[in-house]
Structure 1
Amino acid sequence: MPDSSRGPLRLAVLADSDTRWKWGALTARRIAPESSVHGYLLRGRATPTARQLAETDTGVEEPEEITAINFLRRIGDLQENNAESAAKSRDNAADDAPYDALILACVGGTVQAMLHGLARAWHGAPRRTVVVSGYVGVVYEKLTDGLLLRHGADIVLANSAFDAARFREQFRGVRADTSAVTECALPFLAGQPYDAGAVERGDRPYRLVFAVQPSVPGTRKDRAYLLERAVEHARRHPEREVVLKLRSKPGEHTTHIEELPYQRLVERIKGGTPANFQLAYGNMGEVLDGTDLLVTVSSTAALESLHRGIPTAVLTDLGIREQHGNHYFLGSGCYASWDELDGGLVPTPDPGWLADQGLGRAPEEAFGPAHQRLATLLEQADVDEGLPPLDPYYTVRTAPGYLPGVLARHGLDVKGEPLVGFQGGPDPTTGMRGASKRLLRSTARGAYRAGVQRVAPLIRRWGQL
């Protein structure tokens, strides 16, 4: 655990979607339970609504919406102000860092940009903040790309022993430092263990939950097929409740773009849906409380379900394919098709696979290495030499044709400084002008999402005529 003599730690979380906000805020609570947490939410296409934020159920105050450039300015200003206050009080500047730890709960490119921007903001500072990054769920694609974009953080969290071994192997493969890789678990693996006797006791009907994903599968045909099979399962088993667990409402976005919302497809089911079929939103943990069989293609919800001991099925109907992410579950014992589920199959997970994924462990055990890593870094930050400067693998020397574009998308040049002319001015937060700009941003997001969900698919269909 971090040194209790320091008092409550000051943590910040920078997130770019509702799911990453949930991961970041809950991770902060896991690695420093008594900490104060300040949240920042990057403004962009995936900026969540108030409803989506409320459903994350993090127990942390709603995050402040901000741009990447203004976030870096804020961090720089806080660093400078704290240093001035420490100097005036003749303190030893041990508290000049604005936060003890900063969790970057963002996509890889954003993490890389923030690492370079923060390195510039903290240049020459006697003490800097510990930087943490990681993944919100199953890492089934772009492993090398995503990891190298996160390299440079002081702590790169791996959600299992399996992931930790893969991460270290990737870093060693490019002769990069592996010391930041730290094993933990997904912070939202919690909840009551599965009560297998609830249905037999008559406490509730048997409930199958189909946890859908915004972008997997990606085609209308495949999504319609999975939906129709779920509806057909409800018709075949009228004694069961069949729940379609949705991530967002039409017009809302999450980590991935959803061009074809299941809600729209449900409206087109021939003959309508049976009475025992329903849609559900809300916190996944609450939905799992009454679930007897969790069905998905590759959602992280499968790990939440397996952690509780709930029977879980990973669908094979559309094949076991890298593009669907269900190849991650090889060896799990959870594969099944809708035909098999219709026939009564209940998959039995492999104990060895579960152990390798770190499922079933208590949070205190799972986050022990992260506690210790953070404590060690905070102790190092307090000594004379402090923490070394942030040192990402990607530099203008190692990736001169790649890094500039990654940084430019966030308004930074290769030195981590704001690009001349980049639109990243002060954030309006009060007054009529501020309200007008917030309304304009909200309207623009709605128009963009409508274009993605309605216009773009229509144009693609026209192109296929």
Structure 2
Amino acid sequence: MPASATKSLRIAVLADSDTRWKWGALTANRIAPDASDVRLDGYLLRGRSTPTARQLDEVGVRADSLGEVTAVEFLRVMARESYDIVVLALVGGGVQAVLHGLRNIWADRRQRPVVVTGYVGVVYEKLADGLLLRHGADLVLANSRQDADRFRDVYEGVGADASSVTEVALPFLGGAPRTAEHDPYTVVFAAQPSVPENRRDRTYLLDRLIGHARLHPGREVLLKLRSRPGEHTTHIEELPYQKLAERAGLPPNLRLVYGHMGEVLDRTDLLVTVSSTAALESLHRRIPTVVLTDLGVREALGNHHFVGSGCLASWDQLDAGHTPSPDPEWVERQGVAAGAGTYEAAFDAARARITKLLDRPGGLPPLTPYYTSTTAPGYLPGILARHHLGPDGAPLPGAPAADRQPGPVRQIVRRAARGAYRHGVQRVAPVIRRMGEL
């Protein structure tokens, strides 16, 4: 049936963390062709970053169904269920493994879903590696014109088909633009789980935030945190700011906040970060935004992505009252702070491409990832094996059955094991690392 005549669409989103679930679910709603009804089924890949109920509630994105799966369990669901669109909101290796698994289970199917993948935010590291691991999806979404150009260059540079690259925008941009200062004037530091990663640098940033709050007692200063201790998001956080703050002692006008970033931005007058995607959300809403240079402008920090933005500044400059002015051309290339109506149209190309694929006579051809046993015989098997898949994408012997749900005891053990892992990451590993430095 042509997509234009479809009464409803079924979309599956597979995500491996809270931030990727947010990106995947919102993207699914943005790219869905016009239809009278959309059913969204969420699948959370079981692992160290599987979001907790609190994290899912904080994201605020609702699905018609939501449950945990392994990669093999997800593939077995895809073998028996009929979807129109499948969104893979995973780390690169996970995308590659699932693409090969889907290719295997859909080998004899005449009609298959459109497969979509992409990135949660700023792409500042492992560009070639991450892109080639995502190659093979029908659409590889780029969040800006700059990213779309870079993605095509990588694919064409290795002789891979670049037609899947589709320019869109970050799906979670929105909210009312800032038009006037709030009372009190509010400064928000958007923390990141893994940038910077060492205690010295994280302590330095917290000390400077505390110093700014004390220097400007009339301002409200907020430390916006992504997760609570014991939770994981896309990246591992070994040194949570909460624990550093307990030892430092905070002035009365500085406090820690959680919750939806958009709600925090509703009351923000100045957004400060090292390289968080929150900077793009802030710029989209015309909020003065600072990307810190205190620790250098370095690829390891990700703030090199903002070279030319007009947003680079230090705490010394902020303490002295500096307010940045973003470069309009740079901002426009990032797909943020666009003119009236243009953000809403940013997903038109993706919707048109999906409609065309759904209407394709005879269905879609098999998925064709760039990495195969011929192009990457020393790399691909390890990626597949981590998800219990063989070289051909088929489940290895002993893979868990999708219809065998864990009992209460196994669920308790699984939660305990995940808690032990997080305890090891956040408490034991730093101690061992410090001992090694003695």
Give the TM-score, by structure 1 length. 0.91
Partner of 1:30: 30
Q: 2:208 aligns with which of 229, 252, 260?
A: 229
Partner of 1:191: 175
Partner of 1:50: 53
Matched, 1:449 2:422: yes
Greater displacement, 334-343 / 435-444: 435-444
User: SS of the counterpart of 1:188?
Assistant: coil
Matched, 1:246 2:228: no
Partner of 2:303: 326
Q: Which amino acid aligns with 1:434?
A: G
User: SS of the counterpart of 2:300?
Assistant: helix
Partner of 1:165: 149
Alpha-carbon deviation of 1:73? 1.1
Matched, 1:66 2:69: yes
Would the aligned equivalents of 1:53 and 1:62 in 2 still touch at CA under 8 Å?
A: no
The 2-side partners of 1:163 and 1:61 are apart by 32
Matched, 1:461 2:437: no
Would the aligned equivalents of 2:221 and 2:253 in 1 still touch at CA under 8 Å?
A: yes
Alpha-carbon deviation of 1:4? 3.7
The 1-side partners of 2:121 and 2:416 are apart by 30
Q: Where in structure 1 are there 5+ consecutive unaligned residues?
A: 79-97
C-alpha deviations, 1:196-252, integer Å up to 9, x for none?
2x43xxxx2100000000000010000000001001100000000000000000000
- The verdict on how the C-alpha distance between 1:161 and 1:121 changes in structure 2, with shifts beyond 3 A counting, is same
Partner of 1:378: 358
Q: Where in structure 2 are there 5+ consecutive unaligned residues?
A: none
Partner of 1:155: 139
Partner of 2:282: 305
- Equivalent pairs counted in the alignment come to 431
User: SS of the counterpart of 1:419?
Assistant: coil
Would the aligned equivalents of 1:161 and 1:183 in 2 still touch at CA under 8 Å?
A: yes
Whichever of the two has the greater Rg, that structure is 1
Task: Output aligned runs, 1:18-417, within 5 Å.
Answer: 18-32=18-32, 34-61=37-64, 63-78=66-81, 98-196=82-180, 198-199=181-182, 204-269=183-248, 272-361=249-338, 362-380=342-360, 383-384=361-362, 386-417=363-394
C-alpha deviations, 1:139-166, integer Å up to 9, x for none?
0000000000000000000000000000
Alpha-carbon deviation of 1:22? 0.1
Alpha-carbon deviation of 1:263? 0.2
- Percent identity of paired positions between Structure 1 and Structure 2: 64
Would the aligned equivalents of 1:66 and 1:427 in 2 still touch at CA under 8 Å?
A: no
Q: Which amino acid aligns with 1:456?
A: A
Alpha-carbon deviation of 1:331? 0.5
Would the aligned equivalents of 2:40 and 2:65 in 1 still touch at CA under 8 Å?
A: no
CA RMSD of aligned residues (A): 1.2
Alpha-carbon deviation of 1:7? 1.8
User: After the TM superposition, which segments of 4 or more aligned residues of structure 1 sit over 3 Å from their partners?
Assistant: 425-429
Would the aligned equivalents of 1:14 and 1:103 in 2 still touch at CA under 8 Å?
A: yes
User: SS of the counterpart of 2:407?
Assistant: helix
Would the aligned equivalents of 1:259 and 1:457 in 2 still touch at CA under 8 Å?
A: yes
Give the TM-score, by structure 2 length. 0.96
The 2-side partners of 1:101 and 1:244 are apart by 38
Q: 2:408 aligns with which of 426, 435, 455?
A: 435
Alpha-carbon deviation of 1:420? 2.1
